[in-house]
Structure 1
Amino acid sequence: MEIATIWFFVALMVIALEIYAIWHIIGSDRRAERKMLWVIFVVYAPLPGLLVWAWLGPRAVKGRAVLQEK
């Protein structure tokens, strides 16, 4: 397999992950300002943005909500 083909599939995977992240960011119950900041971060810094979002984004919100209910 050529190196260009590998990079093409890596780029497609990053784009798919960005779309997934943006979909979940927009669908979250956060304020619009925070959503927009996350979307900008994920779009303009794709790899770091996805990593930070995966680390702090969806799981952190659910964990805090569970802790606040108790």
Structure 2
Amino acid sequence: MEIGTIWIIIAAVVIITQIWAIWHIIGSDRRAERKMLWVVFVVWAPILGVLVWLVKGPRAVKGREVLKEK
């Protein structure tokens, strides 16, 4: 496989994960301001943005809400 082909595959994977993250961010029940900040961060820093969103985003919020209910 050529180097150019590898970079195209990596770029496609990054774009697909960005679209997936943005889809979930927009579909969340958070305030519009928070959604927009996450979308801007994911678009501005694609790999880092998606990774941070996976850690701090939807799962972290749901976990805190479950702890508050108990």
TM-score by length of 2: 0.94
Give aligned-pair identity as a percent.
71
How many Å separate the matches in 2 of 1:65 and 1:19?
26
Q: Which runs of 5+ in 1 are unaligned?
A: none
Aligned residue type for 1:62 = K
The ranges of structure 1 where at least 4 consecutive aligned residues each deviate by more than 3 angstroms after the TM superposition are: none
TM-score by length of 1: 0.94
State the one-letter code of the partner of 1:68.
K
Deviations 1:30-61 (A, max 9, x none): 11000000000000111111111111112101
What is the Cα-based RMSD across aligned positions, in Å?
Answer: 0.8
